[in-house]
Amino acid sequence: MADTDQVPVSDPEAAAAAAVLDALNGTEALNATAKFVASPEGTALAYGSLVLMALLPIFFGALRSVHCSKSKNASDMPETITSRDAARFPIIASCTLFGLYLFFKVFSQEYINMLLSVYFFGLGVLALSHTLSPLMSRIFPESFPNKQYQLLFTQGSDDTKEEIVNYEFDTKNLLCLVIGAVVGVWYLLKKHWIANNLFGLAFALNGVELLHLNNVNTGCILLGGLFVYDVFWVFGTNVMVTVARSFEAPIKLVFPQDLLERGLGASNFAMLGLGDIVIPGIFIALLLRFDVSLKKNSRTYFYTSFLAYIFGLGLTIFVMHTFKHAQPALLYLVPACVGFPVVVALIKGELTEMFSYESSVELLPGSPRLTSFPTVSGSPASLAGSMATGSSPRHRRLQPTPLYEETPPEDTEVKEESETEKKDQ
């Protein structure tokens, strides 16, 4: 989590003249424009809005993950993260993050962000349309003429024909795509922070909904690994902060601290990475599915972890505001989101049940495994990828455990002998 400051130069000619005079005198050129200092009200509004925007995709994404896990529609099937995936996740994310850092150092930032903008335009339209789809189904009455469509791409012919894309949609989905495209064009042309946040919220919600941890052990491995990852890259180097500020893509939520002074054209932003929302969010969603599996009509672990997230994020903001330095949010979120539910489970005597719970077996035996990783911690590449490749035939699926054993040969022979005896009689 970090602040960004963009200070306008009110008089370019005067600033240039001052720079020349300072250079001739052998002194360092100073920016004559005073740095903008956000008011306490503006700062409180920015941080409060970031907290609210972070809570929305976690809460609704977790609720939708329960329905998603029970869905029989192949396009809505979640991606299951196993312990092996969780262990590799921080390593691959670190390599990709450092690769992006080198890219921004070597190549022009303008052209890299241009390519990334086009890439995330497509992903954002799909993510936003998937987010709005359930809402459209409730808004339009059943009498609405909802026609069905199918987009099918195949390769080969006859017996060798192979499906590459098989996308089924209806009129309501088309309307969602149109809305997503309008927001996408707005983002491409203006890079406005509201359009950025709409895409970011859609990525975060889809991530919490469609990325499933198979058990609590896997969640602890993932959160523990990314805890170290976040602390190292924020405190140990300037890589994380540099990439976050250079990466002009909706991989973070932003809110201006000078909104009260400058309106919608404000430019002094506080930011929160999507990884600080999605990573704890999928663990909170797992605990909600665990609550459902207990069949006690209670959401104890979900609400405990949800309140723990609020506490951890609030502590992050407090420390960042106090020390005026970017903070790795997972440093505070991981202990809170894991520790609070574990303590509650110890008190209730359900710790064994919690760690033995298997989400992929309990709710969805045929869930596909996660086969791709995000380009940055919290990057939406994996989030939209989970929608785009959810029904890919190349995905490996978890095989359900057989519920019975075959009848041994000895019993079969006994039955055959008894039948022949009856015929002889």
Annotated catalytic residues are 230, 276
Contact 363, 215 (CB under 8 A): no
DSSP state of 369: B
Neighbours of 400 (CB within 10 A): 11
Which amino acid type is present at position 49? Answer: S
Cβ contacts of residue 18 below 8 Å, gap of 6+?
29, 30, 32
The C-alpha atoms of residue 399 and residue 196 are separated, in whole angstroms, by 39
The residues, ordered by sequence, that sit 6+ positions from 66 with a Cβ below 8 Å of its Cβ are: 285, 288, 289, 292, 363
The conformation of residue 402, written as its DSSP 8-state character, comes to P
**Cα separation, 196 vs 244, whole angstroms:** 14
CA–centroid distance for 117 within its chain = 18
Distance CA 341, CA 291 (A): 11
CA distance 265 to 170: 38
Secondary structure class of 4 (helix, strand, coil): strand
Which two tokens mark 390? 């959810």
